[in-house]
Amino acid sequence: MSTDARREELAANLAAVHARIDAACAAAGRDRDELTLIAVTKFFPASDVAHLAALGARHIGENRDQEAGSKVAELAPDVRAQLTVHFIGQLQTNKANHVTRYADVVQSVDRAKLVRALDRGVGHALDEGARHTPLEVLLQVDLGEGEDRGRGGALPEDIPGLADAVAGTEHLRLRGLMAVAPLGLDEAGTRAAFERLRALSQSLRADHPESTWISAGMSGDLETAVTCGATHLRVGTSIMGSRL
């Protein structure tokens, strides 16, 4: 596909997703400005990220460290400066140091050991001049129940302690919660899962008032997420198309 054709395809897809978000906000009685769209660019090249930036996208999501690091490094400085890079995948502790070199946000914090590793990594990156700001983090919650658990994240009952661990670090800033809807649910089940996330968010904000983000909703369930209070939507296929 030519460069111009790919940009036109991305523009059409992006416009369609924005229209869905607009409609969902109208139906839910929400202000569109409350929603942030994250274009999930995993498996797609840096050239697509540059197209998205030119089309007005300001947030991208990546979930594999090796791919993400090299892709962000490939971006022209003026393109990188326009973007907030969200790391949204499961993160091994031994990759935390590297992720802090390019990610602005890590959405998948799920254990105290990772909190400590990220804090150390940011400290080293600041000392080396590889970054100049604290790292914003979200706690990933496992919304599954019983045998349906396993899409990643901390158990709901572990969130308060994990939040306190982040709050006690020098270089991390707790911004809220992230979750993926459990597999195999119908719309009612997905709504119930996202409502559990909203309730957890309300509890978290009682002790950590700055933790206002709720990252939930992807291509197939973004409308439900909007209805249930999501502030950040992680959309891949509906913007990027099928995996290359």
Q: How many CB atoms lie within 10 A of CB 182?
A: 18
For 121, phi then psi, to 5°, come to -60, -45
Which phi and psi (to 5°) does residue 19 adopt? -65, -40
Query: What CATH number is associated with residue 31?
Result: 3.20.20.10
Instruction: Quote the CA–CA distance of 150 and 168 in Å, as a whole number.
Output: 28
Q: How many CB atoms lie within 10 A of CB 52?
A: 26
CA dist 119 and 124 (Å) reads 9
Helix, strand, coil: what percent of the chain each, to 5?
50, 15, 30
Residue 2 confidence (pLDDT): 87
Q: What is the pLDDT of residues 53-112, one digit of tens each?
A: 999 999 999 999 999 999 999 999 999 999 999 999 999 999 999 999 999 999 999 999
How far is it, in rounded angstroms, from Cα 218 to Cα 236?
A: 7
Which structural domain, as residue segments, surrounds residue 39?
Answer: 3-240
Q: What is the pTM of this model?
A: 0.96
Count the domains in the chain: 1
